[in-house]
Structure 1
């Protein structure tokens, strides 16, 4: 293995009040709840042990807020990377999961994630391509570093499934919880997953 190994810590943003109720997508005004801020603070304490070189974040507010709490503890700036942003859910954004339940396209999206497009939005394959490209750029910028990326649950799943060569329809086989950390190591031409869904105490 080459000595140019980069450790990437994939962090899901912490909890907010609309969690599991509304498909927030990229909507603005979705901020961390009190419990979410505590999650982010616990994550920041955990990451204080990691000697990070940089923190990158999705541009979505809840991710930026999580990254800001971590950055404040570690004394690092936050760089925004659009490749880490939430899935573009198009016409579904802002709708409750109860309202989506009887939509046949929503059912297909959840059953056949590899081939289904959110209405006026993205496919999961498009999401995977952009997040993998973003991670590649970040790895190239930190060829022997440790870097934290704050993103979103299914976006992180897409990155991990790429590293594991798993089909996109397998996204339900593992969990990425709010405020969790997964880690991968990458080198030119390869990489591997080290941890998944670690939640700070």
Structure 2
């Protein structure tokens, strides 16, 4: 099974560095729509047979051009939502963003009990994201599909991949960004585990990326 995890296109909240994690969230910007259109060239000839997205508007708008090109519907899976910001929702100050990223870093290093007030903890996040991936794979298998796209969110993709993909690590995903419409390509299954083949177009080199990281503050841009 080949799984493409795709971050949504740019939104106004990305431009303003806001912690925009709640449903329905912001629409895509003009640039974000162009980024979504560009996914057709990147993934449109790669045998994709199923597409899923989170319930946030921006992921469904990102999925729409590829789905139209392939003649596919877009399944909405609640578990693909972004990691919740809780009481930090729609804040954009540096202290709030760093608090959010510190929660993500704690989960990646094994402490799943940490949570912002009003937000889920790591156990809840991983349970719902694992379920969404498993449901998407199960539906694809039922249709005889072996390549699928899940359109989700920056922090969610990086955190889930850092914990669930065998050749990734906490240090790698903390140090390595995922730009809007960046694609993380995995092979494997939920039962046997996943291996990362490519991260945002580059053949994976997790050792070099991890060595460059300095912890949560190494995040190069908005992830939401």
Q: What's the TM-score bracket when you normalise by the shorter of the two chains?
A: 0.7 to 0.9
Paired residues for 1:40-51 under 5 Å: 40-51=36-47
Change (3 A) 1:97 1:124: farther
Pair 1:17-2:18 in alignment: no
Q: TM-score, normalised by structure 2?
A: 0.76
Query: Match of 2:130?
Result: 132
Q: TM-score, normalised by structure 1?
A: 0.83
Query: Match of 1:3?
Result: none
The CA RMSD measured in Å over matched residues stands at: 2.4
Q: For residue 19 of structure 1, give the secondary structure of its aligned residue in structure 2.
A: helix
Query: Match of 2:192?
Result: 189
Return the alpha-carbon distance in structure 2 between the equivalents of residues 173 and 92 of structure 1. Answer: 23
For structure 1, which segment, 109-118 or 60-69, has the greater mean C-alpha deviation from structure 2 after superposition? 109-118
Query: Match of 1:97?
Result: 93
- Alignment check: 8 A CA contact 2:85 2:100 kept: no
Change (3 A) 1:94 1:70: same
For structure 1, which segment, 139-148 or 36-45, has the greater mean C-alpha deviation from structure 2 after superposition? 139-148
Paired residues for 1:34-45 under 5 Å: 34-45=30-41
Structure 1, unaligned runs of 5 or more: 1-5
Q: Pick 1 or 2: higher relative contact order, CA cutoff 8 A, min separation 6.
A: 1
Name the one with the larger helix percent. 2
- Alignment check: 8 A CA contact 1:113 1:168 kept: no
Shift in Å, 1:140: 2.4
